[in-house]
Structure 1
Amino acid sequence: MATPTDQGALLLKRQLMDLQKTPVEGFSAGLIDDDDIFSWEVMIMGPPDTFYEGGFFKAHLLFPKEYPQKPPKMKFVSELWHPNIDKNGDVCISILHDPGEDKWGYERPEERWLPIHTVETIIMSVISMLADPNDESPANVDAGKDWRNDYNGAFKKKVMKCVRKSQDCL
């Protein structure tokens, strides 16, 4: 009988094959190490018509052994100035929060992790978040303040610096 870890590994292998066969515009994904299906590296292109456009942002998507019952963690390796990405690069987005009730009552259960999410739906949600942050609950309070109070000044300047840095790293 297959263990939950085996089931998660099979699911991730299938998703990797699907993404290799049919790439999705806006990002690319693969394994950090060919021997570890639970550790992925993702390259996200900055969404068009945002200050992030032209940037290439590297992130790691680390899946728990309990996947798909538990969500992965996502961390940007590239520097990124954004209200929902903390200063260490950790992504704070509802779909990556453990399933069930939110103890603070901020998120509805259907906004949180569901086992139907795939690498593609996670990354597409993060790309959407880049374009449209949730500034009511920022993981990076300073970026949230810049977004709200100085969008075309300090916020734009810091994001453009990250974009340039990401281009230099290619």
Structure 2
Amino acid sequence: MFETRQGEMLLAADPAQLPPDGQVVFIGRIVSPWTSREDCPKNMRAARETGRPGTILIDQPYRPGLQNLERASHVVILSWLHHAPRNLIVQKPRHAAEAKGVFSLRSPARPNPVGLHVAKLAALDIEAGRIGIDAIDVLDGTPVIDIKPYYASTDAFSEATVAGRDEK
């Protein structure tokens, strides 16, 4: 259990205790240099600044799905942030003056703790199920839900903003 901050709100029922309504499977795990939350970078920009790469290990049955992934310079990784609390619906980030709804944040604490990471593809060994990436902002052993190629032509919006957010 964790302590809530002033202004935070918990759900009445912890989603981790509810029956699942989808058949999500983990297709592999992330090999990361980060073993504690305190050391783990808060986002991919901070992870890149460390200069420490990561690896994704894909389980045997899913390795044929890696065919042609080398055509992508960058990949989108969906992970399951299995250490994050799932019942915190209103959060007060340390840097924020006010509490915010979970769906207005990129925090790992959410009803379904799905992580979204865009990484540069550095290496691919389909037979071994190894994907080398430039950086990662999750703990070692984090489960992987999916991998997709990143398409700058459709995934990037230069005009995208979040009001009140400093995007330095």
Query: Normalising to structure 2: TM-score of the pair?
Result: 0.23
Q: Which has the higher helix share?
A: 1
Q: Which has the higher strand share?
A: 2
Query: Normalising to structure 1: TM-score of the pair?
Result: 0.23
